[in-house]
Structure 1
Amino acid sequence: MRRRSLLIAVPAGMLTLAACGDDDSGSGKASDSATPQASGSSSAPPAPKVTDGPLPAITAGTKFGQKPTVAKGSGEPSKELAVKTVIAGSGKTVAENDYVSADYLGQVWNTAKVFDNSYDRKTPLVIQLAQGSIIDGWRYALTGKKAGSRVQFSVPPTWGYGEQGNQQAGIKGTDTLVFVVDIKDTFNAKSSAKGTNAPQDDSALPKVGTDTDGKAPSIELPKSAAPKKLVAEYVIEGDGAKVGAQDSVLVQYKGVVWDGGKEFDSTYQRKQLTSFSLQQVVKGWAQGLTGKKVGSRVLIVIPPDLGYGDNPPQGSGIEKDSTLVFSVDILAKM
C-alpha cells in the first residue's frame, strides 16, 4: 500500500534504468489514498519573512521521534512563516535541494485537525526540498536546520497549498497549517554508503572501491567471462532496514558495461541523487536490491535477460545483449 505524503510526484528513475518490455499495470500509478499534494503552480511565490511565532504548544509527545500532540492555534496566525527549533540536533545541516528523511505531523491552525502524520505509518517521509517536490513552507522552514532537530512551523496558504487548498486532505484555501517535523537525516550529491566493508574475494567478479567521500567508486572488471546469472553482493554492508520489492529507494549509482568497462550512467557525474520504485526498473535492479539493507553499497551484475537484452534504450551507449555492472549506494527507502 502506498503511503500518503506531501509529494507532487515521485521522481522517476533515469532513462537507462527504466524497465522495458512487460508493462506492470501497478507501477507508475498515483497513490489512491488521500494524499495532501503540493500546489501545482509553475512559479514559487517570493520568499517569506521568517518569524519565531506565534505557534501553538506541543502538549504531549515532546521528545524527538515521539508522535506529538499539538494544541489548537490561539488567535490569528502569522501571515509570514513562523519557525521554531524545538529540539536542536547536531547532525548534518540541511540545504535546499537536499533530500531529507523526516517524521512529521500536520494539522490545521484554527481547528487542530490532523490531516497527515508519518508516525502512525512508522515510516519516515523521504523527500527533496526542491520547488515542485514539496510545499514551499517546508523548503524555507527546514533549510539550515540540522539532522536530529525537531522543528515546528506554521505555513500560511501562500507557502502551502494556495487559494485552492487541498480538498482531498480537507485543507481550505484560507487555512494556515502547523507542522512538527523530526529531521532524521539529510542527503545530497556527496552522500555515500556507510557500514562495514564486505569481502570481495571472488576473482571472477568486479571489484568496487570502498571510498565513502561522495566520489564515484572505482569498478575494476576481471578478464573472465561475464556471469550468466544475476550477481548482487555487498561491497559495504549497512545496518538499515531491508529493501522490499514494493519499495522506492534513494540512491547513488554508477553503471558500466562488462565488455570494455565503458561508463554509461552515473549520478556522481550528474551531481544529483535519484529515486525510483523497484517496480519501475529493469528486473536485475529490482531483484538485486530487494532484501539489501539501507546504508549499503551493492555490486550488481546484470545479464542481458534481466537487463535490456536486444532492446537497450536509445542514446544510452549500451549495445544489444550487454552485461551491465553497477555500484549502488542505497541511501534511504522512500
Structure 2
Amino acid sequence: MRRRSLLLAAVPAGLVTLAGCGGGKSDSSKASASPSPSVSSVPPPKIVDGPLPAITAGTKFGEKPTVAKGQGEPSKDLAVKTVIAGGGRAVAENDFIQANYLGQIWNTAKVFDNSYDRKSPLVMQLAQGSIIDGWRYALVGKKVGSRVQIAVPPTWGYGKAGQPQAGIKGTDTLVFVIDLVDVFNSKSSAKGTEVPQTDAALPKVATNTDGNVPKVTVPKTSPPTKLVSVYVLEGDGPEVGANQAVLCQFQGLVWDSGKTFQQTYGSGRLSQFSLQQMQEAVKGLAQGLTSKKVGSRVLIVVPPDLGYGDTPPGGGVIKKGSTLVFTVDILAAM
C-alpha cells in the first residue's frame, strides 16, 4: 500500500462509496494513519506575492524540484506565485485535484514530503477539512498544467500543534511546489475511445461524456454466470493496480429489474475507494476494475457469488442471488 500524504484528512469530504450498499468498509486512505488538518475558524488569509525561496533545480513542470532555504523571515500572509502558467481548466473549491508536490520547511529547507519519488500524483479534494487551508486558498482559480509555489504560515497549515511525525513545529512556515496535473468534479466523465459493443448478451452502455448518467440497457436474457469486465470507452492512462484506490463516477443496477441502487452521476459527488477494501464489499467490482486503464468507462457484470450473494443489504432493490451491473468511469488512480 502506498504511503499516505500528510496533507489529507482521514476521510475526504464530498464522497460516496459502495459501502453504503452493503456491509463493507469504506475509507479512501491508502496506508498509515495521518492526522486531519484542523477545520479552520480563522478568516481567509491575505494572499501576497512573496517572499518565496528560489527553485534551483527541476524547474520544468513534472520534474522534482530542488528549493533553496528561505531567506529572512517568511510572510505572515499566504505567499503564492504561479511559476509556470498552465492552459487547462481552472480549479474551483471542492474540486478534486491531481498533483505532484514537494513540501519543505522554510528555515531549514528540510523536505518532509513529496510525491515525485512515489512516481504517482496525489489525488485530493480542495475542501475544508480535507486538506490544509493554505492549499485551499492558494490553488482555487489556478489552471491545470500550472506549477504553483506557496509559503504557508502555521495559521493556514497545521496550526500551533504542528505535525510532529513529519518534524513540523507549530511555528514552522511550510514551502510547497505544486504541479497541477488534472482536476475533477461531479461533471467529470471518462474520455476514452469508444469500443464496439457487439455482444448481444451483455448490457449496452451509452458513451456520453458530459457527466450525466450513461443509459444502460440490460438484455432480457439470463445474466452471465462469470464475472464480465469490458471497456465501453478505453482510456490511455496507466492500468489500475489491485493495491490502489480509484476516484470515479459509477452507477450500480440490478440485472433482473434494471433498477439503480446507487450512483454518483448527477449527484454532485464522486466516489473514491480502495480496491483492497472493496474486496470486502463487492469482490467482483474490485476484480473488474483491476488492470483497467485510467480514463476508461468500464462495464462490469458481477454474479452473485462475487457480489452480495445471499446476504444483500436490507431494504433495497438488491435481492438474494442478484446479479449486479456496474458502469464505472475511472477518473484517477492512486
> Which of 237, 244, 266 does residue 241 from structure 2 map onto?
244
1:77-88 matched pairs, under 5 angstroms: 77-88=74-85
Distance 2:77 2:316 in 1: 47
3-state DSSP of counterpart to 2:138: helix
Distance 2:73 2:36 in 1: 23
Counterpart amino acid of residue 13 in structure 1 = T
> Which of 59, 73, 77 does residue 56 from structure 2 map onto?
59
Deviations 1:2-58 (A, max 9, x none): 2231212145723345564xx9xxx9887338x5x442x344422111111111111
3-state DSSP of counterpart to 1:286: helix
Does residue 328 of structure 1 match 2:325?
Answer: no
3-state DSSP of counterpart to 1:186: strand
3-state DSSP of counterpart to 1:268: coil
Q: 2:10 corresponds to which residue?
A: 9
1:317 deviates by: 2.8
- Range that drifts further, 293-302 or 303-312: 303-312
Residues 18 and 159 of structure 1: CA distance in aligned 2, closer, same or farther (over 3 Å) = farther
3-state DSSP of counterpart to 2:160: coil
Distance 2:211 2:277 in 1: 26
Does residue 160 of structure 1 match 2:161?
Answer: no
Distance 1:110 1:176 in 2: 8
Q: 2:129 corresponds to which residue?
A: 132
Residues 246 and 316 of structure 1: CA distance in aligned 2, closer, same or farther (over 3 Å) = farther
Distance 1:14 1:157 in 2: 36
Q: 1:312 corresponds to which residue?
A: 312
Counterpart amino acid of residue 87 in structure 2 = S
1:93-242 matched pairs, under 5 angstroms: 93-242=90-239
Distance 2:131 2:149 in 1: 17
| TM-score, normalisation: structure 2 | 0.93
Provide structure 2 residue ranges, at least 5 long, that are not aligned to the other structure. none
Q: 1:254 corresponds to which residue?
A: 251
Counterpart amino acid of residue 150 in structure 1 = R
Distance 1:32 1:265 in 2: 29
Counterpart amino acid of residue 31 in structure 2 = S
Residues 42 and 71 of structure 1: CA distance in aligned 2, closer, same or farther (over 3 Å) = closer
Q: Is the 8 A contact 1:19 1:283 kept in 2?
A: no
> Which of 53, 65, 69 does residue 66 from structure 2 map onto?
69
Residues 28 and 155 of structure 1: CA distance in aligned 2, closer, same or farther (over 3 Å) = closer
Q: Is the 8 A contact 1:15 1:313 kept in 2?
A: no
Q: 2:89 corresponds to which residue?
A: 92
Deviations 1:291-313 (A, max 9, x none): 10000000001111111112122
Provide structure 1 residue ranges, at least 5 long, that are not aligned to the other structure. none
3-state DSSP of counterpart to 1:294: coil
1:226-305 matched pairs, under 5 angstroms: 226-281=223-278, 282-305=282-305
Deviations 1:245-298 (A, max 9, x none): 111000000111111211111101321011000011210111000010000000
CA RMSD of aligned residues (A): 1.9
Q: Is the 8 A contact 1:38 1:161 kept in 2?
A: no
Counterpart amino acid of residue 263 in structure 2 = S
Counterpart amino acid of residue 229 in structure 1 = K
Q: Is the 8 A contact 1:288 1:300 kept in 2?
A: yes
Distance 1:316 1:73 in 2: 58
Q: Is the 8 A contact 2:296 2:330 kept in 1?
A: yes
Distance 1:10 1:248 in 2: 13
Distance 1:104 1:315 in 2: 45
Counterpart amino acid of residue 326 in structure 2 = F
| TM-score, normalisation: structure 1 | 0.93
